[in-house]
Chains A and B, each alone.
Chain A
């Protein structure tokens, strides 16, 4: 006979501690999966360590992958804080990338600052409008935002695919599915002689803005009240529909900025599969971090290491990069279980007949 009872109070510190512990348990279980492919786990872990932290270049590559994760993580967290389930960050990232690309290719200016600012703004606004559609459907017709944002991912990704295979294809690109290369003034400058670009500064600024907005500002208080209890929010005179629209716009706009940093900072063109699932991973990040600023940073970094591990698997062990999805799934699963175990008391009781 298994009995499950809810525990009442858990110290938030304990909770976070065990979340991180379970993250590593998840990593450990993931490595067991690799056993199946007869990979030596000690060697593999060593390889990951070298690839993620082994040199200046390795560390810069890890942070390079952290950038879009932080940005999308913030976008998704902002919506989650209000219990608005925007799971369309992946599509919003692609839309942002499209916006940046259109500006970079067709807007003529010699000023790098001017160019990048316009790319930034257009990405933000296009992404915001894209996700606002889900907000509009929710407020006007009460259509669930989860399904809308999810399905719009596919529209966005396939639309970009169409563009890079069709109208935007680079005529000198040997038929590869990508756009023309951006002019030099449309590229974010890099730091320390590595591929790491100034997008990292943008990510940190966004983290600070997020912290102030959500955790310190009066507007953030409104958002948290709505997330906790919409009825109480209504009763306190908070306009829920207006905030749904606003948060949906900001959430999509911020996520789209990851598309801006990826195109302007890393690949300097629009191409098919610009993101290996940063937008989806952001959902895990937003969830694991409890939408706390530092948590977003920390888990984005962890997840970036996982992506590096995926590269390692692909290059050194010839396994597909989609192994990363397996890892993410296992880790999320372990964390979910640990959270359940922390919140509930489980006891096994035998029937006594004496």
Chain B
């Protein structure tokens, strides 16, 4: 074991009576990329929080280079060369690249010797062929570039173990490739990397070894020659994932919804949608690919009535529903899975039952003035069993549910009224594979009942898997449609970068 940088022995962490981590032991070798795979709730985040000093384990020990260590804070973990790139970047948008890196330095002098650090930072940038100006304000950088800054913050502090939490979620395929090259270069220099991801395909591409966690416990570690997609998913969730879903072809070309030259502005008055065109056919799943921040949110908001378009027309069954009463009616009939589950989709302090009627509480069956609790319960029981929503105490607020179950509450509620159109905005983001499968199956099931879906996602694999057509959104414009059966991920990736417009 002299080759291992970090060794975990019997790490245990309890929250109340619940074991988030139980007797987890494994090691990270010098100069390797180790992936930790596991469903939501498998204990990955807790474990990473222990390694980076946010939590203290209730039992077990951490060894670095064979020496037993204790971390009381993330600062101490950094001292031992362990750093993490979080899924949500810890960067100050209004500050420059230099300031962002500088603020993360572990030992700063009272007097800022700017020139010295500029030289130091530049040398790291050059080492990895990163073309970033130190004086640039951070908000001007792309997501991929911001991620490099996060990694460089760790490198400047001489971190030898870098933990990356779902780093590819926000990246284009091209950016992902660059990130992987970057990681391989770090590996050559002897750095170790812990990689966390849900995407099995890319995990198999980048990892040297894969450690699998399940329900807070260590399952196994696979060497590179043991990688096999079915086998891995079996270990993770105990069942094999269906590789492809059976797509029933769209029966007719009847257009149900049409957007013509729709423009929308955001709160700052900048254009989010610019002359956006879209057609949606009956019972089809139309995927919208794109890097987040290219107008997806505005598109979903315009479609679901949270935002009014400044220009253009929306037609439902050839009837104008852009304004007024017809728009209200149209909004009422549309189902929506919002981007941010906790911020938009639920009333976190209310119970599951109460959240399940959020959409249709004005329905007469729930009473005219007084809420009919019996009906609410009946309504809830039906959806809870149908969608297999799992929760503890019945009267407990919904915010205590896991992410997957919160998403199930939202989906159950949205689909309970048999909508004709569903607008789903990143519905599987941050969910484990089991929950993702469930959401895909549910949408496909409703598709066969005639529901049309606009499925907005960044995960191209996912879109290729379930969509009948895919269109790409770039800077608020529709770049065109592609057929998922004869298009590869890279063509779409290029369109996401604004390169070509097909048909």
Residues on A facing B (Cβ under 8 Å)? 1, 3, 5, 7-9, 11-12, 212, 216-222, 224-225, 227-229, 231-237, 349, 351-352
Q: B262 to chain A: closest CB distance in Å?
A: 20
- A222, closest chain B residue (CB): B361
Neighbour of A351 across the interface among B72, B349, B373, CB < 8 A: B72
Residue B102 at the chain A interface, CB threshold 8 Å? no
| Also in contact, A236 and B16, with CB within 8 A (given A9-B400, A212-B370) | no
A235 touches B393 (CB 8 A): no
Task: Other than A9-B393, A220-B371, give 6 A-B pairs with Cβ distance below 8 A.
Answer: A5-B55, A12-B395, A218-B362, A224-B347, A232-B344, A233-B347
Residues of A within 8 A of B348 (CB): 228-229
A232 touches B72 (CB 8 A): no
Q: B428 to chain A: closest CB distance in Å?
A: 20
A-B contacts, 13 of them at CB < 8 A, read A5-B15, A216-B370, A221-B371, A224-B350, A225-B347, A228-B350, A229-B347, A232-B345, A232-B347, A235-B306, A235-B344, A235-B345, A237-B331
Residues of A within 8 A of B362 (CB): 218, 237
A9 touches B370 (CB 8 A): no
B15 touches A221 (CB 8 A): no
Residues on B facing A (Cβ under 8 Å)? 15-16, 18, 55-56, 70, 72, 304, 306, 331-332, 336, 338, 343-350, 354, 357-359, 361-362, 366-371, 373, 392-393, 395-396, 400
User: How far apart are the CA atoms of A220 and B347 in the complex, in Å?
Assistant: 14
- A218, closest chain B residue (CB): B371
A228 touches B347 (CB 8 A): yes
User: How far apart are the CA atoms of A351 and B71 in the complex, in Å?
Assistant: 9
| Also in contact, A231 and B344, with CB within 8 A (given A9-B393, A9-B396, A218-B366) | yes
User: How far apart are the CA atoms of A220 and B354 in the complex, in Å?
Assistant: 12
B16 touches A232 (CB 8 A): no
Q: B234 to chain A: closest CB distance in Å?
A: 30
A8 touches B349 (CB 8 A): no
Neighbour of B70 across the interface among A217, A232, A351, CB < 8 A: A351
Residues of A within 8 A of B371 (CB): 216-218, 220-221
Neighbour of B56 across the interface among A3, A227, A234, A236, CB < 8 A: A3
Residues of A within 8 A of B70 (CB): 351-352
Residues of B within 8 A of A235 (CB): 304, 306, 336, 338, 344-345
| Also in contact, A217 and B347, with CB within 8 A (given A7-B15, A8-B400) | no
B16 touches A217 (CB 8 A): no
Q: A321 to chain B: closest CB distance in Å?
A: 38
The majority secondary structure among interface residues of chain B is loop
B343 touches A229 (CB 8 A): yes
B367 touches A218 (CB 8 A): yes
Count A/B pairs, Cβ under 8 Å.
83
Residues of B within 8 A of A1 (CB): 72
Residues of A within 8 A of B343 (CB): 229, 231
A221 touches B400 (CB 8 A): no
Residues of B within 8 A of A7 (CB): 15-16
The majority secondary structure among interface residues of chain A is helix
B369 touches A236 (CB 8 A): no
User: How far apart are the CA atoms of A222 and B369 in the complex, in Å?
Assistant: 12
- B376, closest chain A residue (CB): A221
Of A217, A224, A232, A233, most buried by chain B (CB within 10 Å of CB) is A232
Residues of A within 8 A of B369 (CB): 217-219
A217 touches B370 (CB 8 A): yes
B347 touches A218 (CB 8 A): no
B306 touches A234 (CB 8 A): yes
Q: A344 to chain B: closest CB distance in Å?
A: 12
- A352, closest chain B residue (CB): B70
Neighbour of A218 across the interface among B72, B346, B361, B396, CB < 8 A: B361
Q: B9 to chain A: closest CB distance in Å?
A: 15
User: How far apart are the CA atoms of A112 and B334 in the complex, in Å?
Assistant: 56
User: How far apart are the CA atoms of A145 and B28 in the complex, in Å?
Assistant: 54
Q: A222 to chain B: closest CB distance in Å?
A: 8
Residues of B within 8 A of A225 (CB): 347, 350, 354, 358
B370 touches A218 (CB 8 A): yes
- A232, closest chain B residue (CB): B347
- B363, closest chain A residue (CB): A218
User: How far apart are the CA atoms of A227 and B345 in the complex, in Å?
Assistant: 14
User: How far apart are the CA atoms of A33 and B346 in the complex, in Å?
Assistant: 46
User: How far apart are the CA atoms of A12 and B304 in the complex, in Å?
Assistant: 36
User: How far apart are the CA atoms of A1 and B53 in the complex, in Å?
Assistant: 13
User: How far apart are the CA atoms of A225 and B348 in the complex, in Å?
Assistant: 9
User: How far apart are the CA atoms of A9 and B395 in the complex, in Å?
Assistant: 11
Residues of A within 8 A of B55 (CB): 5
Residues of B within 8 A of A9 (CB): 16, 392-393, 396, 400
Residues of A within 8 A of B349 (CB): 224, 227-229
Q: A347 to chain B: closest CB distance in Å?
A: 8
Q: A9 to chain B: closest CB distance in Å?
A: 6
A232 touches B361 (CB 8 A): no
Residues of A within 8 A of B358 (CB): 225, 232, 236
A232 touches B393 (CB 8 A): no
Residues of A within 8 A of B393 (CB): 9, 11
- A83, closest chain B residue (CB): B349
Residues of B within 8 A of A351 (CB): 70, 72
User: How far apart are the CA atoms of A229 and B153 in the complex, in Å?
Assistant: 36
- A226, closest chain B residue (CB): B347
| Also in contact, A237 and B332, with CB within 8 A (given A12-B395, A218-B369, A228-B348) | yes
Q: A187 to chain B: closest CB distance in Å?
A: 35
| Also in contact, A221 and B344, with CB within 8 A (given A228-B350, A235-B336, A237-B332) | no
Q: Which 7 A-B pairs have the closest CB atoms?
A: A228-B347, A228-B349, A225-B347, A229-B347, A236-B358, A232-B347, A231-B344
Q: B277 to chain A: closest CB distance in Å?
A: 26
Residues of A within 8 A of B370 (CB): 212, 216-218
Q: B373 to chain A: closest CB distance in Å?
A: 8
User: How far apart are the CA atoms of A7 and B70 in the complex, in Å?
Assistant: 23
- B73, closest chain A residue (CB): A1
A8 touches B16 (CB 8 A): yes
- A9, closest chain B residue (CB): B400
Residues of A within 8 A of B304 (CB): 235
Residues of B within 8 A of A352 (CB): 70
B354 touches A221 (CB 8 A): yes
Residues of A within 8 A of B396 (CB): 9
B361 touches A236 (CB 8 A): yes
Q: B107 to chain A: closest CB distance in Å?
A: 21
Q: B409 to chain A: closest CB distance in Å?
A: 12
Of B332, B358, B395, most buried by chain A (CB within 10 Å of CB) is B358
User: How far apart are the CA atoms of A220 and B350 in the complex, in Å?
Assistant: 12
Residues of A within 8 A of B15 (CB): 5, 7-8
Residues of B within 8 A of A221 (CB): 354, 357, 361, 371
Q: B194 to chain A: closest CB distance in Å?
A: 23
Q: B59 to chain A: closest CB distance in Å?
A: 13
Residues of B within 8 A of A212 (CB): 370
Q: B60 to chain A: closest CB distance in Å?
A: 13
User: How far apart are the CA atoms of A12 and B397 in the complex, in Å?
Assistant: 11
User: How far apart are the CA atoms of A11 and B331 in the complex, in Å?
Assistant: 39
Residues of A within 8 A of B347 (CB): 224-225, 228-229, 232-233
- A230, closest chain B residue (CB): B347
